[in-house]
Chain A
Amino acid sequence: MEQADLRKLEAQCVQEEPPFCTAACPLHVDARAFCSLMGQGDWDKAWAVLARTLPLPGVLSRLCHGPCMEACVRSAKGGAINIPALERFCAEQGGRAARTIPMPAKGKRVCVLGGGLAGLSAAWDLVRKGIRVVLHSERPGLDLAREGASPLPAGVLDAELERMVRLGADFQAPVAMTAESLQALLEEFDAVIVDCAEQDIEGLGLGEPDTMTLGTNMPGVFVAGQCDEHVFQAASGRKAALSAERFMQGASMVAGREREDPYPSKLFTNVDDVAEVAPEPVPEQGYDAQQARAEGLRCIRCECLECVKHCEYLARFGSYPKVYARQIYNNQSIVMGTRQANTLINSCTMCGLCEELCPGDFSMEDLCLQARRELVEQGNMPPSAHEFALRDMHFANGPDCALARHAPGEKTSTHLFFPGCQLTASRPAAVRAAYDHLRAHIPAMGIMLRCCGAPAHWAGRTREYERSMDELRSQWESLGRPAIVCACPTCQGMLQNALPAAAVVDLWQVLQGAGVPESVKGADMELTVHDPCTTRYEPEIRQQARGLLQSVGVRVREADMSGNLTECCGFGGLLAEANPELGADVAKRRADSLPGELVTYCAMCRDMLAKGGARISHVLDILFPDPSAGDLAARPAPGYSRRRENRAHLREGLLTDLWREPGDPPKPYEELAVSFTEACLATMEQRRILESDVRKTLLRARETGRRLVYAQSGRYRAVFRPVAVTYWVEFEETGDGYLVHNAWCHRMRVAGGAA
């Protein structure tokens, strides 16, 4: 990722945009933080928020009419937050801002002509920065005190003027203003600010002040206060002060000032689920403490986080995509040291929901996929992240599981059944039943057992993915380019992408055309559909699956987050491999969020949500039930070893039953008589240790005689490192076989040794 790409990505996420109120406030008060503190009744801290931003805070907090309210998104849900009333209450609590420590004098002097709120605000800002100010006015703030209904209590203005004097403001009598006197002042001072509320600037040759800088025809002279409301006057004083400062420093007068005036925030805040609450009415004497808290609590503290709210992964890492983009960018630029974001990169489910929800179309999927590819490319991908999944893919594509043939007795294929390696692993009987049913209606239905390559794609292993696809493509071509019938939406997406010349259809549609088994019609049940995240942009597949369910009498219940808003089961992007705990949490959250009994049309979703605690069927469980297999919706997801065996047995069964070919002879390690304790099987599953790995280890010990023994118990330990992982097995001998009690593994190895 280049720096420019990062900037572009960051700009897509609006979470850090200011809230609408702050953007609309002429002085950009952090009203969100203010409201939140008011809601907590923390008047002192709330006051500190105001005092940090407002010039003459005691005055402005009581005088502002609240243009921020026009932008408040609460308007749509009861009414805008009454921030001006809150500010007044807060000021009345006598909140004291932390003492300002005078800045070291900068040796600069500015002359301010006029003591309205613009002139005073300009002077306020300048003296706080260590710039000396001489302010000429008949009576600073006279206007404010004069107003009949002024809500300014006696003494407030004076206290703030005194503070300015302490910081180096010098209040002097007014001076006559002419073009010449301005020129003279410019010689004496470094800049001059004219508050035109008290001064007439006609005929001075200053011209119309520039809207962005308030600069005039006379360089160094700035004109503020050309507006009515107090808060706008204060803002223009602040603007003039900033211009004077830049002028004195010789800095650019315009750079980075686009957002000085009120502007529309780019923030997005979803208020769909916000309940309507009417504003707290303001009594004559203003809010009391309870009312102020209640009004503060009405603020919904605008932010976006649309994606984070719906994604356990995004929530888990404690931030949001803009921050993640930066972390991932930094991760990639590390040469020496720890790459902190590897787990972040490898935990994205790549389900596309964030992009769908995001107002700026931010895609964590694209970001993480690119980052994974780069890690792989640089040789920095943690080996433990995806190796197990890739091994599984190789196994599915290897001689034990893979198959590509015309139907028995056929010389060609019009169609090719592609069940996918996960359905084959999860419920091989359903694959077999579906294939038999399909051939009864479409005789030239070939079959291809293998993995679609999704694991390699998700792991960022581009070359491995392409190798697998090349092999798949040539098999498909040698079968005469039949139409591919997919039973897994992930496979379907992968194949559509990689074989643009192929007709790829979903099994649900084909089954509807072929007709469903008579025996399952009239299934009288109501099920909630979980759409696999790979169908987010495949409305037709979603429709076909529903249609198929309805055709056998299932009443389909729709969940809130379904269709293009569906949430991932926790398997996507290989999350469950790289970060098993999070994968389990994602599955559980999704399972808990869906009402009633569930149905889906992806074998991996079915197994993940079953692990997450749901009662869930695969569409094919309903179409091809198996009385001998018991309650299919309640069946546990098979473990890793079982999944492998299921694939191998399916292939073997097809070969012997349909093609009358003998199966492969068992491998020597398969012939050992091995049993496992229950606890050991659970441990192995959690540690991703396969029964075949254990068997190979036992066989190795038998062949070499190398093992450890514990004399008292008669237990043995053996070790074997087939490739990248060392396996340890603790066992006892039982007559002609073995009982395995425990197994563990590690990747580190003894230099030059067996382990």
Chain B
Amino acid sequence: MSVIRVPEADAQGWSCDACGEPLVPAPVDLEYLDSRFTVELPRCAKCGFVLIPEALAMGKMLEVEKLLEDK
């Protein structure tokens, strides 16, 4: 499955507080209703904490949620 890249997922300067690791782009599986996609998102390489930035959550992600709800 292809990995979707989203420019909204910028996480420059953020790191995982518990692990002290910077967040780095990594493929992450997202799911909603019966759909699943792989998106490249900032993630802690050590514990796997994934950041969903505001611009993504309230923008593209919201759009896709609405689309899936009408499917």
User: Chain A interface (Cβ within 8 Å of chain B)?
Assistant: 337-340, 342, 382-385, 687, 705-712, 716-717, 719, 726, 728, 730, 742, 744-755
B1 within 8 A of partner (CB) = no
**B45 close to A (CB within 8 Å):** no
Nearest CB on A from B38, distance (A): 9
Of all chain B residues, which has the CB nearest A709?
B17
Q: Can you pick out 13 interface pairs between chain A and chain B where the beta carbons lie within 8 Å of each other?
A: A382-B70, A384-B65, A706-B17, A707-B17, A708-B16, A709-B17, A712-B13, A744-B57, A749-B31, A749-B32, A750-B28, A750-B29, A755-B50
| Bound form: Cα–Cα A224–B54 in Å | 76
Chain B 37-63 near chain A by CB (<8 Å), digits 1 or 0: 000000000011111101001100110
> CA A728 – CA B61 in complex, angstroms?
14
In the bound complex, CA of A712 to CA of B12 (Å): 11
In the complex, what residues of B have CB within 8 A of residue A338's CB? 67, 70-71
Most buried by A among B15, B16, B23, B52: B52
Contact residue among B16, B29, B49, B65 (Cβ-Cβ distance under 8 Å from A754): B49
Given contacts A382-B69, A709-B16, A742-B54, 19 further A-B contacts (CB under 8 A): A382-B70, A706-B17, A707-B18, A708-B15, A708-B16, A709-B17, A716-B17, A717-B14, A745-B57, A746-B58, A746-B62, A747-B65, A748-B31, A748-B32, A748-B65, A749-B30, A750-B50, A751-B36, A752-B29
Knowing A384-B69, A748-B64 touch, does A708 contact B58 (C-beta < 8 A)?
no
Minimum Cβ distance to chain A for residue B43 (Å): 9
Alpha-carbon separation in the docked complex, A532 to B61 (Å): 37
Q: How far is the CA of A753 from the CA of B49 in the complex (A)?
A: 8
How far apart are the CA atoms of A705 and B20 in the complex, in Å?
Answer: 12
Contact A748 B70 (CB under 8 A): no
B32 touches A744 (CB 8 A): no
| B23 near A746: Cβ-Cβ < 8 Å | no
CB-nearest residue of chain A to B13: A710
Q: Name the distance in Å between B58's Cβ and chain A's nearest Cβ.
A: 6
Whose C-beta in chain B lies nearest to the C-beta of A708? B14
Residues in B lying within 8 Å of A, measured CB to CB: 13-18, 23, 28-33, 36, 47-52, 54, 57-58, 61-62, 64-67, 69-71
Q: Is the pair A706, B69 in contact by a Cβ cutoff of 8 Å?
A: no
A344 to B14, CA, bound (A): 42
With CB as the reference atom, state the residue of chain A lying closest to B11: A708
Give A749's nearest chain B residue, CB to CB: B31
CB nearest to B57 among chain A residues = A746
Q: Which residues of A contact B61 (CB under 8 A)?
A: 746, 748
CB-nearest residue of chain B to A381: B69
Whole-angstrom CA separation of A754 from B36 in the bound complex: 16
Closest to A342 in B: B70
Which 7 A-B residue pairings sit nearest by Cβ, starting from the closest? A382-B69, A751-B29, A748-B32, A746-B57, A709-B17, A744-B54, A707-B17
Q: How distant is A725 from chain B, measured CB to nearest CB, in Å?
A: 10
Min distance, Cβ A754 to any Cβ of chain B, angstroms: 7
Give Cα distance in the complex from A753 to B71, angstroms.
25
Inter-chain CA distance A755–B69, complex, in Å, is: 19
Instruction: Report B-chain residues with C-beta under 8 Å of the C-beta of A747.
Output: 32, 65
A130 to B: closest C-beta gap in Å = 47
Q: A383-B69, A748-B61 are in contact. Are A706 and B18 (CB under 8 A)?
A: yes
Residues of A within 8 A of B13 (CB): 710-712
Closest Cβ of chain B to A326, distance in Å, is 18
| Contact (Cβ within 8 A) A751 B52 | no
Q: Do residues A710 and B65 form an inter-chain contact, with CB atoms below 8 A?
A: no
Asked whether A753 lies within 8 Å of B50 as measured between CB atoms, the reply is yes
Task: State whether A337 touches B71 (Cβ < 8 A).
Answer: yes
Instruction: Decide if B50 touches A339 in the complex (CB within 8 Å).
Output: no
Distance in Å: Cβ of A209 to nearest Cβ of chain B: 57
CA distance A744 to B8 in the complex (A): 14
Distance between B10 CB and nearest chain A CB, rounded to angstroms: 12
Chain A's nearest CB lies how many Å from the CB of B34? Answer: 11
B65 contact from A337, A712, A746, Cβ within 8 A: A746
Distance in angstroms between the alpha carbons of A745 and B53 in the assembled complex? 10
Q: Name B23's contact: one of A342, A708, A742, A750 (CB within 8 Å).
A: A708
- Contact A750–B30 (Cβ < 8 Å): yes
